[in-house]
Amino acid sequence: MIRSMEVTQTVNDQRKKIHPHKFTLWVAIGSIIMMFAGLTSAVVVKKEQPGWTTASIPRVFWYSTAVILVSSLTIQMAVKAFRDREMLKYRSLLTTTTVLGLLFVLLQWIGFRQIWESGITLHGSGGGQFFYVIVGLHALHVLGGIAALLIMFVRMLATNLRNYNSIPIELMSSYWHFVDLLWLYLFIFFMIIH
């Protein structure tokens, strides 16, 4: 009887602990937040210097914002489909999220080109330099997310899922929501700072 209670307590203690991969993800997210907080703070400080020029936000960034918000919805739906073991729906939603992520990066690239063609380059424009670095770093984080989505996609097609471990899709979803929220912050920040 006492042994059974100890085992039950151990199982309950294990359930309360955060998964090591989730902990690692939250530490990484914290680091990324610190990096972007430092960069956007530098923009606020440097903006008051003479010769500062700002880049206008291209209209295509509004479209990319809508795309990344929809992708957040699709990945959350994918998590639910996985938990409900609706694997066809899960595959479809994971594919949709990946395509939307790629579309986001393409729209960002188009926006970068429009800014570049308007004369805001990496030379001589503090605002342009910060804009390219900050938004470019965000795009790299989105590309990292897309790479993870593609790995999940390939694994999903290559194996017949019998183990319904939801940790990978939950991690992916958390990261994807994070890059979505980070983009919203950056988008609003540059709208205000302009």
- Using one digit for the tens of pLDDT, what is the confidence trace for 112-134? 899 888 877 777 657 778 888 88
**pLDDT for residue 66 is more than 80:** yes
Residues 129/130/134/135 CA torsion (nearest 10 deg): -60
- pLDDT tens digits for 133-183? 888 899 899 999 999 988 888 877 776 656 677 888 899 999 999 999 999
Instruction: Sketch out the chain's domains with CATH numbers.
Output: 17-193 (1.20.120.80)
- pLDDT tens digits for 4-36? 555 555 555 555 677 777 888 888 888 999 999
User: What are the C-alpha distances in Å from 29 to residues 34, 41, 96, 181?
Assistant: 9, 18, 24, 12
- b/e string for 108-117 if b means 16 or more Cβ within 10 A? beebbebbee
Residue among 108, 90, 94 nearest 164 (CA): 90
